[in-house]
Amino acid sequence: MRARHFDIAVIGAGSGGLSAAAAAAQFGCRVVLFEAGDMGGDCLNTGCVPSKALIAAARQAQAMRTAARFGITPVAPTVDFAAVRAHVQRTIATLAPHDSQQRFEALGVSVIRAAAHFVNDRTVEARGEHYTARRFIIATGSRPAIPPIPGLAEVPYLTNETLFASETLPSHLLVIGGGAIGLEMAQAHRRLGSEVTVIEAAAPLAQDDPELAAVVLGHLAREGVGIITSAAVSRVSSSGGGITLEVGGRSITGSHLLVATGRRPNIEKLGLEAAGIAVTPRGITVDRGLRTSNRRAYAIGDVAGGRFTHEAGYQAGIVIRSALFGLPARATAAIPHVTYTDPELAQVGLTERQARAAHGDGVRVLRAPFSGNDRAVTEAEVEGLVKVITTRRGRILGAGIAGAGAGDLIQPWVLALQGRLKISALASSVLPYPTRGEASRRAAIGYFAGLASNRLLRHVMGLVSRIIP
């Protein structure tokens, strides 16, 4: 069979694959892009976009309930779930053209709407045709990992792949898994009017700084999200339209069940063995330049152990630099992450625990609570804090923020880490008043608070005051 030849073949048109295909096409390469499902992948269709649209609707409902603190009569909102769902679907439709087949074809990319798999180390097959390429970029993403809980396979359960198409608001949503999906969706459903119970096997938000996570978890508890921690679900069953979980000797019954217990990389149907591409259960094995064990092939995004859309996009840039220009490129940037609960939880670089593990006691921990931030006070949203970890000499190791808008507020810290700025750069910046961002500067200034007790500095100041009376 004669193969069609390209410079770059990209498998998967999600966050990583689309970024890579667009960049390669813009540099004039002949690019083929394979997509087995919907253009845009998880993020657009069943991930970031619908989840954030649902969260936005839920925030409006909550604002109506809690308006009394501003002197406005609070009301119990009437939630028209079909209309909420329509808002979610409309949001996807609004953003879809950016990821569409038409847009990519206009960029010069050959888009093949079919599953692709390797037949040897330099050829993939899709819909019975062969395609060769100078370089391959595998960006096939991940899918929900379903735990082997007895009875689970026999009951109707939701995952992120089905949740946003669901037509009824659950009266009681059970959620297995207290990670990002579990808690974002738990709060959104609670605010829209569901009773919600989350069952987490270990600790919720375990990737984050416990001090910051506690701010979010405390808020969720006050809003009525039930979270059962360190608990294993031993059995799942359904009867009379309800779903029952056996958890630590007690039974909890809900109307719907969401399983949000992590991800599995999409590696099984790719013919990776034929291509000499090594894998582990965590995904395709890559080096720091994201190259696989087949030197013609790279892997990016969730299929290579990634977790976030911006991470997949960043990795696309790294492999394009390497594949097109042969430039040595390594994925070394600190990847921030944000959990879009309210309050939000954001982190970049090391948490306090990670910093102490790496640097021992040679770290400084700087904090600025939002209760001391004028804008937060005017908006009656004073929960949370900025927490920054530096070395003794003021090198920034990491920053975390729990509070309203944390995902936006973390951005100067991303820049600071990327640009290797010292804490003095943030402390000396002039920020507009009143903004929540001033809390970051306040935390940075905290680094210098210790200087007032520095004996040498006080001695010098004493001398100066004698010379210049």
Ligand X SMILES: Cc1cc2nc3c(=O)[nH]c(=O)nc-3n(C[C@H](O)[C@H](O)[C@H](O)COP(=O)(O)OP(=O)(O)OC[C@H]3O[C@@H](n4cnc5c(N)ncnc54)[C@H](O)[C@@H]3O)c2cc1C
Ligand Y SMILES: NC(=O)c1ccc[n+]([C@@H]2O[C@H](COP(=O)([O-])OP(=O)(O)OC[C@H]3O[C@@H](n4cnc5c(N)ncnc54)[C@H](O)[C@@H]3O)[C@@H](O)[C@H]2O)c1
- Give which of 340, 343, 338, 339 is closest to 222, Cα–Cα: 343
- The residue within the footprint of ligand Y, chosen from 174, 180, 389, 414 (CB under 6 A), is 180
The answer to whether 354 and 398 have CB atoms below 8 angstroms apart is yes
Q: Which one of residues 5, 134, 143, 337 is an interface residue with ligand Y (CB under 6 A)?
A: 337
| Contact (CB, 8 A) for 116 and 126 | yes
Task: In whole angstroms, give the CA distance from residue 220 to residue 437.
Answer: 24
| Residues 205-244 interacting with ligand Y (rule: CB under 6 A) | 206, 233
How many Å separate Cα 312 from the centre of its chain?
Answer: 11
213 binds, among ligand Y, ligand X, none (CB under 5 to 8 A by kind): none
CA distance from start to end of the chain: 92
Q: Is 434 in the site for ligand Y (CB under 6 A)?
A: no
Which of residues 12 and 349 has its CB atom nearest to ligand X in the complex? Answer: 12
141 is in an annotated binding site: yes
Selection from 316, 324, 304 nearest residue 140 by Cα: 304
Which is nearer to ligand Y, 137 or 181 (by Cβ)?
181
If binding is defined by CB under 6 A, does position 340 make contact with ligand Y? yes
The item of ligand Y, ligand X, none sharing an interface with residue 261, based on CB under 5 to 8 Å by kind, is ligand Y
116 binds ligand Y (CB under 6 A): no
CB of 234 to ligand X, least distance (A): 26
- Structural contact between residues 342 and 404, judged by C-beta atoms closer than 8 angstroms: yes
Contact region with ligand Y (CB under 6 A), list: 54-62, 121-129, 161-169, 178-186: 178-186
CB of 467 vs ligand X, minimal distance in Å:
57
Exactly one of 201, 382, 425, 445 binds ligand Y (CB under 6 A); that residue is: 201
| 36: its two tokens | 């087995």
Number of residues that bind ligand Y (CB under 6 A): 25
Minimum distance of ligand X from residue 260's CB (angstroms): 8
Which DSSP letter does residue 69 get? G
Of 29 and 312, which CB lies nearer to ligand Y in the complex structure? 312
Whole-angstrom distance, CA of residue 426 vs CA of residue 114: 49
CA 447, CA 428: separation in Å to the nearest integer? 12
User: In angstroms, rounded to a whole number, what is the distance separating the alpha carbons of residues 148 and 131?
Assistant: 38
35 touching ligand Y, by CB under 6 A:
no
The Cα–Cα gap between 75 and 368 comes to: 34
Rounded Cα–Cα distance for residues 299 and 284 (Å): 7
Nearer to ligand X, 312 or 320 (CB): 312
Query: Residue 178 binds which one of ligand X, ligand Y, none, with CB within 5 to 8 A depending on kind?
Result: ligand Y
Q: 190-203 b/e with 16+ CB inside 10 Å = b?
A: bbbbbbbbbbbbee
Consecutive H or E run containing 53: helix 48-65
140 is in an annotated binding site: yes
Give the nearest distance from C-beta 116 to ligand X in angstroms: 4
* 41/177 with CB nearer ligand X: 41
Is 182 labelled a binding residue? yes
Binding site for ligand Y (CB under 6 A): 147, 176-182, 184, 199-202, 206, 233, 260-263, 307-308, 337-340
Binding site for NAD(+), by residue number, is 177-184, 200, 262
